[in-house]
Amino acid sequence: MPSPPRTSHSQKEVVPMRMAIVLALLSVALLPFPALRAETVVVPAEQARLGGPGAALPGGGWNLWSNGVVGEWFEAERDGEIEVVVVAAGTPCLGSWPQSQVWVRTLDGQEPVGPPLSIASRDFRDFAAKARVKKGWFAVLVDFTNDAQAGGEDRNLFLKEIRVTGARRLDRIPSVREACAEGIRRHRMGTLSVRTEPNAPVKVTMLRHEFPFGTAIAHQVWNAPAPVKERYLEILKANFNHAVHENALKWYHTQRHGGEPDYTDAERVLAWCDENGISMRGHCVYWGVEKFVQPWLKSLDDAALRAALEKRGKEVTSRFKGRIAEYDLNNEMIHGDYYAKRLGPGITKEMFLWAKSGDPAARLYVNDYNILSGTDGPRYETHIRELLDRGVPVGGIGCQGHFGGRVDGWHVRATLDRLARFKLPIKITEYDAKGDEASKAESLDTLYRVAFSHPAVEGILMWGFWEGAHWIPQAALWKRDFTPTPAAETYRKLVFQEWWTSFDGRADAAGRCDVPAFFGRHAVESGGKRVEVDLTRKAGQAIVAMAGG
């Protein structure tokens, strides 16, 4: 888009000054967005620094042979509009051509550039669209969304190049840490506006995070020797404000052999959390992966199995109504669903509705693995979309986060961006990571920064913290003797130092002191008075009137 016309010195001598100003203002008003630099950057697809699965084409370009993205980093000198041209071709399968979506990724997430594209040509063609960007860095991503192979046909997307007008190619790829720091400032901090005496000292001390930092709780610790139980609960209370039953609420634990269910362990854990101000989520109402379905359930005929599912769904949510606000409804559905296999896909919606009838306010999550740590993200997206299209009341998206090695922060970020399109809350529900002590600490630092900085994420839970009661002892943050590992120290530095408000200063001459603060509860002291105040993400600001303010 051309830049707004400018009035030259010679024109000023001919056109009266008032008319020149009017014309200039009108020309700017007619532009939908400010025009950015006119240069066009051409990025050969095989040289793109955000490379997806596939291989370089012999004549130049990239064969994106399975679902994934190819993209590049750019920088805009100011807010404005860019034009993106994707030069692409494809091969069909079963009569359908490759589908693609172009995205712009910024600190605020991903936004589509134009409508989805149907690459219905074996020859390279230009596909153009425009997007609004803010000053600073961003990435342009070309997303292949419908890979398929059948009947000897292979649906592939071929990219020749990406052309961007209105921005320059970024010389240095931003680090995950850089991106996260800005995201945290934008999405996890607000302002405490203190009103007090002129020039009075002001002290602000954080007491508790609003953001849920949680862990799975091992119910068997209640049967451990007293010193072990006491130390376990002491660390739990000191480090977490949110929790989930690891096994105590699972159906195979509460009703292993049929008969009446026993919720003793689940109630014991929940009671302790209630007493100590720790909110809980429920895991899980059902778990349809066949090896985890009790033999007595498998022995039922279809009518009896359906009745058992209905009883379970209504019973769990009604029993814990008002005490547990959210549940993983049917765990790991993309990796197996015995109930749908037996009773048909329609049973899934019924299971959600039965749980909702027990507690209409309960938020029901899907929950699965290999999403952040592997390549099942596209399959998960398809699964969620299909559920929503069928009217299943999915209320949230759970990503487990079991990592066998180091965490790829950009992969996690991109996956969260894609899942955020559903406009549902996302939780990291079961984090842990294997590796040596240094890599475990690095992995935790990366995962927590990326998740905490992402606007769609509403909580992070690790899947246990103590080596003596952990499904992967090597991944625990506290050793068997309760000494902290480097990963535990990293966790505490993030949650209770770097992301913890601590302010000691003075009000200005008007008695005002605006303190940037993380969302949560704070103690504010000034003018001989101390008050506690909640700064919420929803409000963004809290005004604190002290003595004389």
Rounded CA separation 492/130 (Å): 44
- pLDDT, one tens digit per residue, over 510-532 is 999 999 999 999 999 999 999 99
Task: Give the mean model confidence (pLDDT) for residues 57-76.
Answer: 91
Chain centroid, CA 362 distance in Å: 20
CATH 2.60.40.10 for the 178-206+500-545 domain, yes or no = yes
Burial 445-476 (b: 16+ CB within 10 A, else e): bbbbbbbbbbbbbbbbbbbbbbbbbbeeeebb
Cβ–Cβ < 8 Å for 309, 356: no
Tell me: pLDDT of 27 over 80: no
Measured over the CA atoms of residue 460, residue 462, residue 463 and residue 464, the dihedral's sign is negative
Rounded CA separation 369/243 (Å): 19
- pLDDT, one tens digit per residue, over 149-201 is 999 999 999 999 999 999 999 988 878 888 899 899 999 999 999 999 999 99
Task: Give the mean model confidence (pLDDT) for residues 380-394.
Answer: 97
Tell me: pLDDT of 549 over 70: no
* CATH classification for the domain delimited by 40-174, as one of 2.60.120.260, 1.20.1440.230, 3.90.950.20, 3.30.420.40: 2.60.120.260
Q: What are the residue boundaries of the structural domains of the chain, listed by start?
A: 1-31, 40-174, 178-206+500-545, 212-487
Per-residue pLDDT, 414: 86
Per-residue pLDDT, 236: 98
Q: Cβ–Cβ contacts within 10 Å for residue 312, how many?
A: 21
- pLDDT, one tens digit per residue, over 10-26 is 333 333 333 333 333 33
Rounded CA separation 220/330 (Å): 24
Tell me: pLDDT of 80 over 50: yes
Q: Identify which of 301, 367, 300, 299 has the alpha carbon closest to the alpha carbon of residue 328.
A: 367
* Upstream peptide bond of 273 is cis (omega within 30 degrees of 0): no
CA separation (Å) from 76 to 4, 24, 138, 179, 182? 18, 24, 8, 16, 17
Q: Identify which of 265, 344, 336 has the alpha carbon closest to the alpha carbon of residue 309.
A: 344
Q: What phi and psi values does residue 391 have, to the nearest 5 degrees? A: 80, 15
Out of 13-27, 265-279, 483-497, 526-540, which region has the weakest mean confidence (pLDDT)?
13-27
Out of 76-85, 122-131, 407-416, 427-436, which region has the weakest mean confidence (pLDDT)?
407-416
The catalytically annotated residue of 332, 381, 442, 467 is 332
Cβ–Cβ < 8 Å for 328, 398: yes
Kindly give, in sequence order, each residue whose CB lies less than 8 Å from that of residue 494, ignoring residues fewer than 6 positions away: 445, 448, 449, 452
Rounded CA separation 82/38 (Å): 9
Per-residue pLDDT, 11: 33
Q: Cβ–Cβ contacts within 10 Å for residue 51, how many?
A: 17
Mean pLDDT for the chain overall: 91
Per-residue pLDDT, 547: 66
Per-residue pLDDT, 427: 98
Rounded CA separation 438/366 (Å): 32
Place of tokens 């302790």: 272
Per-residue pLDDT, 542: 98
Kindly give, in sequence order, each residue whose CB lies less than 8 Å from that of residue 235, ignoring residues fewer than 6 positions away: 465, 466, 478, 482
Banded pLDDT at 32 (limits 50, 70, 90): very low
Which DSSP letter does residue 31 get? Answer: -
Measured over the CA atoms of residue 337, residue 339, residue 341 and residue 346, the dihedral's sign is negative
Task: Give the mean model confidence (pLDDT) for residues 228-253.
Answer: 98
> Which class is 212-487 in CATH?
alpha beta
The reply to whether 75 belongs to the active site is: no
Rounded CA separation 308/322 (Å): 24
- pLDDT, one tens digit per residue, over 1-12 is 333 333 333 333
Banded pLDDT at 274 (limits 50, 70, 90): very high
Place of tokens 């049973």: 347
Task: Give the mean model confidence (pLDDT) for residues 52-59.
Answer: 88
Cβ–Cβ < 8 Å for 325, 369: no
Beta bridge partners of residue 192, listed in sequence order: 515, 542
Q: Which amino acid is at 145?
A: T
Place of tokens 């039953």: 245
Rounded CA separation 219/302 (Å): 33
Per-residue pLDDT, 548: 54
Tell me: pLDDT of 81 over 60: yes
Task: Give the mean model confidence (pLDDT) for residues 62-75.
Answer: 89
Tell me: pLDDT of 47 over 90: yes
Per-residue pLDDT, 85: 97
Per-residue pLDDT, 37: 53
Q: Identify which of 366, 316, 317 has the alpha carbon closest to the alpha carbon of residue 337.
A: 366
Place of tokens 């990724």: 105
Angle between helices 377-389 and 409-420 (to 10 degrees): 10
The reply to whether 430 belongs to the active site is: yes
Residue 17's SS3 state is helix
The catalytically annotated residue of 315, 381, 430, 467 is 430
Share of the chain above pLDDT 90, in %: 82
Q: How many residues does the chain have?
A: 549
Tell me: pLDDT of 69 over 90: no
Residue 116's SS3 state is coil
Per-residue pLDDT, 54: 87
Rounded CA separation 131/81 (Å): 6
What token pair was written down for 19?
Answer: 């008319």
Please state whether the predicted TM-score (pTM) of the whole model is above 0.75: yes
Rounded CA separation 516/68 (Å): 39
